[in-house]
Structure 1
Amino acid sequence: MSSAESWSDPDRLCRYRDRVQCERQRLRDAFADPERHQGRVLADLLQFNSGTEYGKKHGFRRVRTLADFRKAVPVQTYADLEPWIERTAAGERGVLTADHPEVFFTSSGSTGAHKKIPVTPRFMHTTFFPFYYAAWAPLIEHFPDVLGRPDAVLNLKHDPLTAPPTTASGHPHVGASQVDFGAKFGEPLSAEPGTGAPWGSLPVPVAPDAHLEKMYLRLRLAVQSDVRCVIGINPAMVAALPYQLNLWWPRIVKEIRDGTLGGLPHTAPDPERARRLEELAERYGTVRPAHIWPRMRAVFCWTTGLASLYLPRLREEFGASVTVLPAPVAASEGPVGVALDRHPSAGSLVVTASVYEFADADADLCAGSETLAPHELEPDRDYHVVFSHVGGLYRYAVGDVVRVVDHADGVPRLEYTGRSTRSDHAGERLRDAQVIRALTAALGAGGLEVRNAACRVAPPPPYLSARPAAQQGAPAYEFALAPHTPWSQDEAGRFPERLDRALRRESADYDRARTAGRLAEPSLTLLDADAFVRDWQDRVGDGVRPTQVKDRLFRQDPDQWARLTGGAGTDRVLGTDEGTD
């Protein structure tokens, strides 16, 4: 049975809905006693993997409590586990886990290097699938029509491969969206919404790394369907869609008129549909998703981090009544939180999936860091995430920072705030979350909106006569912003000072660096509205998978900064510390 036939089968849809609702209810039931479930997860991973080389070295058989586990295993990163993982990827058995990985998920990480995340059958069935099914509950509960037809969902991240790259042992090394979970792990219901659409498996030949062409072909096909929902997970992919629609519009209309796909014969020519699409372009000038798909209901993607700056306006591109549902707080390595209702940003801790520990995000995380259990977390605080699960990641610092929004049903609800990496050139130790909150405050104070933002620490300019003597030669943060609508000279001129004040409030370390003169006031570079989506498009064109081209706040690499800001339409506005001659 094909994916399209499966999603058209009423019995399959009924079983899928039941599974999704059942997994959500099981998770909610676990909230009645989260500490007991955390203990069960720890006992299971210790017992199951005690006979592995890693388990023997760290005395898993002697561990009884979380306190024992903390003493036996240090907090560790991918780099610490990489030698063990590489041995597993080369084919050794019993290294990290009792069952052997069927797949290795790829993840770009903050360094850009491709990780190999081992994915075992036991991990998938005890950790991944329960959370994975529950994540779709708000979508299908409140927007049941998105499952009414296979082509009602445009799933931007679905990218199956016929010949995936492999590890040395021959196991697939791919993104999670490129794995057939039904074939690999015996889960026939696990296909995501949208995977049975006509564009789920492209009907024309295309190179595996021709990511832009694949995105074009899917969009070309979707324009002829009544799409009700867009799934992106990575919000940068969703933000790129309106840009791509206009970039490729002439080609799309021509191919619909001619009945071709990628220049090859595909279906009967449809001049009437082409004529209606041309009328839309003539009427509106800029064609938006809402014009093409007027019955759009929902968008499913991450809603926090840099996306929080642009999603309110981006949502309007898809329709005034469209709901944006938050994707899970999760990484390739494992889940953390999942939204069980329509909360706009936060997900409940998946207490049945992993053993979770947290550490104050303002402190550096190291092997011996003191950690907190979930019940010790405080609202409105940022924390590093550390988790352990049966798939072979033990006290693993995933590199993400989450913020506790509140406690609901007995567990913390968390939202992703950014990576744990810092920008630290003069002792300011800034994290993504601090800068994004400062940007939000500074923009709100002036009633301003942006389509995206980035920053770097720039060397001082040659003209410093108006800067206080104590700050001569101090570097400063330069912010590149793409305004939603043009800013006036007064608005741009006042913004750096507002942002500086907001950064001082968010970060005591930044405030000290500014007070001591180690940093000057930030400056502002205004870009044209499409600068960030063009940059995203260029990186995908260079061969990076779209799911891995994510919003990046700190961009210290000079070439990357020049690529983002070097085009026409930029204007640098100096902070008040930086007077001109």
Structure 2
Amino acid sequence: MTIINSIVNWLNYKRIYEIDLFKKYPIDTQREVLFELIDQARDTQFGQQYNFRSMMTESDFKSRIPVRTYEDYSPYINRLLKGERNVLWPGETKWFAKSSGTTNDKSKFIPVSKHSLEDVHYRGFKDVLALYLKNNPDSRVLYGKSLTLGGSHRVNSFNNNSFYGDLSAILIENTPFWSDFIRIPPAEVALIEEFEEKVVKIIEQARDENVTSLAGVPSWNLVLLQRVLEATGKTNILDVWPNLEVFIHGGIKFDPYREQYRQIIPSDQMKYMETYNASEGFFAIQDNPESSDMLLMLDYGIYYEFIPMDRFHEENPPALSLDEIELEKNYAMVISTNGGLWRYLIGDTVKFTRRNPYKIRITGRTKHYINAFGEELIVDNAEEALLMACTRTQATIREYTAGPVFMSQNQKGAHQWIIEFEQHPNDLEHFISVLDGTLQTLNSDYEAKRHKSITLERPQITVAPEGLFYEWMKQRGKIGGQNKIPRLANDRIYLDQLLELEKNKFSK
């Protein structure tokens, strides 16, 4: 074990003990988090509105405060943006993480308090390192730099007291100066708004550094790594950074990109570690390299509830506490945080894979699904089926999206998939058959609608030209690490935009 790792592991010893403690006592930990949040916010305007001082039980909390979306919180957040204090959380909220989301173009401004910066976001990143070194005690990751590809919006000022930007930009603005010694690129490059310009600068500054880790969203990091190879003339990334050992990723599911990373980083020793973090908080970390599920982090100042997706569209669906959840059931996640979000519907869906400790995997978004014909197709189904189709036909997918083909007088319903392949399938018809068959195996509702093609016909695949999705995101102003390509939609808006772009720009 190296000296540096020994020192860091000694410093991390207490934290590893605390993680083991909440794994052992998860329900007690969450109850303690909730009442600490209530106590801290009891004299805020929100706390007085809902009489936090008299809340004695979790039932009191749930019965008084409704589950809210961002739109419901907008009036409160607008007051915070103008500098009003003690609205949702004690004191002044100075920072706001700007997020356009993935379901519409409206900007969201998520309040980021000092508590959530320190006790959630920074603590999450520290825990990633602590857990990685615990699992890899001989790692030399600390002997080099971490190449981090953040968002595309620098911090801007609403007024003299409040600022907004991508979460990554806010974190960079608040990290100490010495962080540039362990991270590449430096802050002035990381905060460049134009993605293409930023990539060029990153390559200039990072190509000759000892990069030992990568961090970011798989899709955009892949773009960066491909540009690195083009700029250096190397055949794989290890020829550029021979000591690279881990990619810490999040934001979107990694499975569709796994094969492309294997090709560009051809080493069985390369490690991949998933995290689940967002503007609203840092939620889970892959603590076991042998399993793809993630440990739900229970002591960050976030209280969790879960709405069963099979009851999500009811007028007042139940929001379950941790001790009420069932394994392998799809839930919409609701959070209350030390950033001042109370019973906030974040928009993600998860499944629990185990208890004691509680582990989850992300299954999609509450608004990212196809249910035009009662098939209830979610992103998790789509990813698994595409992976199987790729495996059977030696294909690799770069990007994709899917939506419905609506019934007409002479047309039954179907799903249309626009797929940009990195490696095309050796038999497209077989690819479609495997995709369709796997979806039927995974999803009984889809299977019922496909039975004898009574309601749904076989999927339709449109093969996208190279660069279509990148150009589409660019035209929408959504280039960069904070932006995600929508995978499923219950309408044809994305499909029609892509098809129109292909017709006008790629078919000439």
Matched residue type, 1:115: K
Specify the alignment match of 1:263 in structure 2. Answer: none
- Distance in 2 (alpha carbons) for counterparts of 1:14 and 1:211: 38
1:146 to 1:374, Cα distance in 2 relative to 1, 3 A? same
State how far apart, in whole Å, the 1-side matches of 2:226 and 2:334 are.
37
Q: Which secondary structure state, in structure 2, belongs to the residue aligned with residue 295 of structure 1?
A: coil
Whether 1:397 aligns to 2:345 is yes
Aligned to 1:119: 112
Please tell me whether the aligned partners of residues 76 and 367 of structure 1 are also in contact (alpha carbons under 8 angstroms). Answer: no
* Contact preservation (8 Å) 1:209, 1:543: no
Q: Which residue of 2 aligns with 1:226?
A: 210
2:186 alignment partner in structure 1? 200
SS at match of 1:135: helix
| Deviation at residue 289 of structure 1 after TM alignment | 1.8
Contact 1:337 1:346 (8 Å CA) reproduced? no
Q: Which residue does 1:418 correspond to in 2?
A: 364
What CA distance in whole angstroms lies between the structure 2 residues aligned with 1:112 and 1:487? 34
SS of equivalent residue, structure 1 residue 547: coil
Aligned counterpart for 2:142 among listed residues 139, 147, 150? 147
Change (3 A) 1:545 1:53: farther
**1:73-116 CA deviation, whole Å, 9 max, x = no partner?**
11111111111111111111121111221211122213232211
The change in CA–CA distance for 1:443 and 1:313 in structure 2 (over 3 A counts) is same
Unaligned runs of 5+ in 1: 1-9, 253-276, 281-286, 462-470, 571-581
Residue 229 of structure 1 aligns to a residue whose secondary structure is: strand
Q: Secondary structure at the match of 2:93?
A: coil
Q: In structure 1, what is the Cα distance between the partners aligned to 2:80 and 2:423?
A: 52
Separation in 1, partners of 2:244, 2:7: 25
- Match in the other structure for 2:487: 553
Match 2:385 to one of 427, 433, 438:
438
CA contact (8 A) 1:103 1:171 kept: yes
Conserved 8 A contact 1:24-1:340: no
Q: Contact conserved, 1:316 with 1:322, CA < 8 A, in 2?
A: no
Q: Distance in 2 between matches of 1:386 and 1:193?
A: 37
CA shift for structure 1 position 188: 4.5
Pairing 1:279-358 to 2, within 5 Å after superposition: 280=234, 287-302=235-250, 305=253, 307-353=254-300, 354-358=302-306
User: In structure 2, how many angstroms separate the alpha carbons of the residues matched to 1:568 and 1:158?
Assistant: 28
Q: Of 233, 241, 247, which residue of structure 1 is paired with 2:224?
A: 241
1:569 to partner: Cα distance: 9.3
TM-score (ref. length: structure 1): 0.76
The CA deviation string for residues 270-294 of structure 1, in whole angstroms up to 9 with x for no partner, is xxxxxxx55x4xxxxxx33233223
Distance in 2, Cα, partners of 1:367 & 1:105: 30
Distance 1:296 1:321, change over 3 A: farther
Aligned match of 2:201? 217
1:264 is matched with none
Structure 2 distance, partners of 1:135, 1:539, is 30
Q: How does 1:491-510 map to 2 (within 5 A)?
A: 491-510=427-446
- What secondary structure is seen at the aligned counterpart in 2 of 1:79? helix
Q: Is the 8 A contact 2:306 2:331 kept in 1?
A: yes
Structure 1 residues 505 and 220: CA distance shift in structure 2, 3 A? same
Q: Per the alignment, in what secondary structure is the counterpart of residue 104 of structure 1?
A: strand
Distance 1:99 1:342 in 2: 40
Q: Distance in 1 between matches of 2:362 and 2:7?
A: 31
1:88 pairs, out of 80, 83, 88, with 80
Are residues 192 and 562 of structure 1, via their aligned partners in 2, closer, same or farther at CA, if it must alter by over 3 Å? farther
The residue type equivalent to 1:156 in the other structure is L
Partner of 1:42: 34
Contact 1:20 1:137 in 2 (8 A): yes
Q: Take 1:509 and 1:472, find their aligned partners in 2: how far apart are those partners?
A: 24
Contact 1:147 1:193 in 2 (8 A): no
- SS of equivalent to 1:117: strand
CA root-mean-square deviation: 3.3
Q: Is the 8 A contact 2:405 2:415 kept in 1?
A: yes
Tell me by how many angstroms 1:504 deviates.
Answer: 3.0
Letter in 1 for 2:370: S
Residue type of the alignment partner of 2:193 = D
- Using the TM superposition, give the Cα deviation of residue 202 of structure 1 relative to its aligned residue in structure 2, in angstroms: 4.6
Deviation readout 1:479-528 (Å, 9 max, x if unpaired): 1223443333xx21133333223333333443444458443221112235
After TM superposition, the structure 1 = structure 2 runs for residues 94-133 of structure 1, keeping only pairs within 5 Å, are 94-110=86-102, 111-133=104-126
Give the match for residue 413 of structure 2.
475
Following TM superposition, by how much is the alpha carbon of 1:382 offset from its aligned partner in structure 2, in angstroms? 2.4
Please state whether the residue corresponding to 2:260 is helix, strand or coil: helix
Judge conservation of contact 1:137–1:340 (CA < 8 Å) in 2: no
2:164 counterpart of 1:173 = yes
SS for the counterpart of 2:375 is coil
Structure 2 CA distance, aligned partners of 1:345 and 1:295?
A: 24
Identical amino acids, percent of aligned pairs: 20
What is the CA–CA distance in structure 1 between the aligned matches of 2:151 and 2:8, rounded to whole Å? Answer: 18
Find out whether 1:539 has 2:473 as its counterpart.
yes
Change (3 A) 1:569 1:542: closer
Question: Which of 343, 346, 371 is residue 319 of structure 2 equivalent to?
Answer: 371
Alpha-carbon distance in structure 1 between the residues aligned to 2:186 and 2:315: 43
Question: How far off is 1:537 after superposition?
Answer: 6.1
Q: Is the 8 A contact 1:118 1:391 kept in 2?
A: yes
Q: For structure 2, which runs of at least 5 residues remain unmatched after alignment?
A: none
Q: Distance in 1 between matches of 2:181 and 2:18?
A: 22
Give me the TM-score of the superposition, normalised by structure 2: 0.86
AA aligned to 2:202 is R
